[in-house]
Structure 1
Amino acid sequence: MPSSLAARKGALASKLSSRPAKKAKLEAKLKPKVARKGTPPPKASKAFNGSEKVHNVTPKSEPKGKGKAKAVAEDTTGRAQATPLPTSFKVIAGSYEKLLYGLEGTVSVEDSDLKFKLKPLFIFPAHISCIKAVAASPNGGKWLATGSADEIVKVWDLRRRKEIGGLMHHEGSITHLEFPSRSHLLSASEDGHKGSVNSVAIHPSGKVALSVGKDRTLRMWDLMRGKGTASTKLGKEGELVRWSVDGSRFLVQTQSTIDIYSTDMDLLHTIIHPSRLHDVKFCKRVNGEGEVLFAAAEDKKLSVYDVPSDEDTPPTVIAELIGHTNRVKAVDALQIALPSIPNSSRTSTTLVSTISSDGKIRIYDLASLPTVPTNGEKTQLTPVAEYDTKGSRLTCVTLADGDIAIPQAANVNGKRKRGEQDKDEEGESEEEAWSAQEESEGDEDEDELEGEGEEEDEGEYESA
Structure 2
Amino acid sequence: MPKPAAATRGPERPAKKPRVDFSASRVKGSPVPQKKSKGKEKEKDPEKTAAVPRKRKKPAPEDAPTPLPRSFKVIAGSYEKLLYGLDGSVSYDADSGLSFDLKPVFIFPAHVSCIKAVAASPHGGKWLATGSADEIVKVWDLRRRKEIGGLMHHEGSITHLLFPSRSHLLSASEDGTLCLFRARDWAVLRALRGHKGRVNAVAVHPSGKVALSVGKDRTLRMWDLMRGKGCASTKLGKEAELVRWSSDGALFAVQAASTIDIYTTDMNLLHTITHPSRLHDIKFVRRVNGAGDVLLAAAEDAKLSVYAVSPDPATPPRVVAEMTGHTNRVKAVQTLPIALPAGAPRPATTVVCTASSDGRIHLYDLAALPEVAVELLEMAPVAVYDSKGTRLTCVTLADGDDGGAAALAVGKRKRGDEGGEDDGDEDEDEDEEWGGVGAPEIGGSVGGEDDSAWEDEDEDEAEEEGEGEVESD
TM-score, scaled to structure 2: 0.70
Pick aligned residue for 1:287 from 289, 293, 305: 289
Pick aligned residue for 1:394 from 392, 395, 399: 392
| Number of the residue aligned with 2:202 | 200
Cα deviation, residue 310, structure 1: 2.8
Pick aligned residue for 1:105 from 81, 84, 88: 88
> Equivalent residue of 2:397, what SS?
strand
What is the alpha-carbon distance in structure 1 between the residues aligned to residue 419 and residue 304 of structure 2?
45
Pick aligned residue for 2:77 from 79, 86, 94: 94
Query: What does the per-residue CA deviation read over 1:71-120, in whole Å, with 9 as the maximum and x for residues that have no partner?
Result: 268xxxxxxxx621100000000000000000000111133511100111
| Number of the residue aligned with 1:269 | 271
Contact 1:250 1:262 in 2 (8 A): yes
Pick aligned residue for 2:67 from 48, 70, 84: 84
Give the direction of change, closer, same or farther, for the CA distance of 1:168–1:369 in structure 2 (3 Å limit).
same
The one-letter amino acid paired with 1:203 is: H
The one-letter amino acid paired with 1:304 is: V
Q: Which has the larger radius of gyration?
A: 2
Give the direction of change, closer, same or farther, for the CA distance of 1:395–1:417 in structure 2 (3 Å limit).
same
> Equivalent residue of 1:71, what SS?
helix
> Equivalent residue of 2:367, what SS?
helix
> Equivalent residue of 2:315, what SS?
coil
1:201-350 paired onto structure 2 within 5 Å: 201-341=203-343, 344=345, 346-350=346-350
| Number of the residue aligned with 2:421 | 443
> Equivalent residue of 2:402, what SS?
coil
Q: CA RMSD in A?
A: 2.7
| Number of the residue aligned with 2:452 | none
Contact 2:71 2:403 in 1 (8 A): no
What is the alpha-carbon distance in structure 2 between the residues aligned to residue 104 and residue 128 of structure 1?
25
Contact 1:216 1:238 in 2 (8 A): yes
Query: What does the per-residue CA deviation read over 1:167-218, in whole Å, with 9 as the maximum and x for residues that have no partner?
Result: 1110100000000100000000001111100010101110000000000001
Q: Which runs of no fewer than 5 residues in structure 2 stay unpaired?
A: 1-58, 177-194, 411-417, 430-468
Query: What does the per-residue CA deviation read over 1:202-236, in whole Å, with 9 as the maximum and x for residues that have no partner?
Result: 01110000000000001000000011000111000
What is the alpha-carbon distance in structure 2 between the residues aligned to residue 405 and residue 227 of structure 1?
34
| Number of the residue aligned with 1:366 | 366
Pick aligned residue for 1:382 from 380, 383, 386: 380
| Number of the residue aligned with 1:41 | none
Contact 1:165 1:454 in 2 (8 A): no
> Equivalent residue of 2:401, what SS?
coil
> Equivalent residue of 1:287, what SS?
coil
The one-letter amino acid paired with 1:443 is: E
Contact 2:120 2:397 in 1 (8 A): yes
Give the direction of change, closer, same or farther, for the CA distance of 1:379–1:215 in structure 2 (3 Å limit).
same
Cα deviation, residue 307, structure 1: 1.4
Cα deviation, residue 69, structure 1: 8.0
Paired residues in the alignment total: 351
The one-letter amino acid paired with 2:401 is: D
Pick aligned residue for 2:62 from 55, 66, 71: 71
Query: What does the per-residue CA deviation read over 1:216-260, in whole Å, with 9 as the maximum and x for residues that have no partner?
Result: 001000000011000111000011011111111111100000011
Cα deviation, residue 290, structure 1: 1.0
What is the alpha-carbon distance in structure 1 between the residues aligned to residue 404 and residue 275 of structure 2?
44
**Overall identity of the aligned pairs, in %:** 73
Q: Which runs of no fewer than 5 residues in structure 1 stay unpaired?
A: 1-67, 74-81, 419-439, 456-464
TM-score, scaled to structure 1: 0.71
Query: What does the per-residue CA deviation read over 1:48-78, in whole Å, with 9 as the maximum and x for residues that have no partner?
Result: xxxxxxxxxxxxxxxxxxxx984268xxxxx
The one-letter amino acid paired with 2:141 is: D
Cα deviation, residue 372, structure 1: 1.4
Cα deviation, residue 406, structure 1: 10
| Number of the residue aligned with 1:5 | none
The one-letter amino acid paired with 2:110 is: A
Contact 1:166 1:453 in 2 (8 A): no
What is the alpha-carbon distance in structure 1 between the residues aligned to residue 320 and residue 157 of structure 2?
36
Contact 2:124 2:403 in 1 (8 A): no
Is residue 121 from structure 1 mapped to residue 105 from structure 2 by the alignment? yes
> Equivalent residue of 1:367, what SS?
helix
Pick aligned residue for 1:152 from 136, 139, 142: 136
Give the direction of change, closer, same or farther, for the CA distance of 1:276–1:155 in structure 2 (3 Å limit).
same
What is the alpha-carbon distance in structure 2 between the residues aligned to residue 454 and residue 102 of structure 1?
27
Is residue 140 from structure 1 mapped to residue 105 from structure 2 by the alignment? no
> Equivalent residue of 1:265, what SS?
coil
Contact 1:135 1:144 in 2 (8 A): yes
Cα deviation, residue 312, structure 1: 3.4
What is the alpha-carbon distance in structure 1 between the residues aligned to residue 306 and residue 63 of structure 2?
28
> Equivalent residue of 1:354, what SS?
strand
Contact 2:324 2:380 in 1 (8 A): yes
Contact 2:334 2:395 in 1 (8 A): yes
The one-letter amino acid paired with 2:174 is: E
| Number of the residue aligned with 1:176 | 160
Contact 1:141 1:401 in 2 (8 A): yes
The one-letter amino acid paired with 1:248 is: A
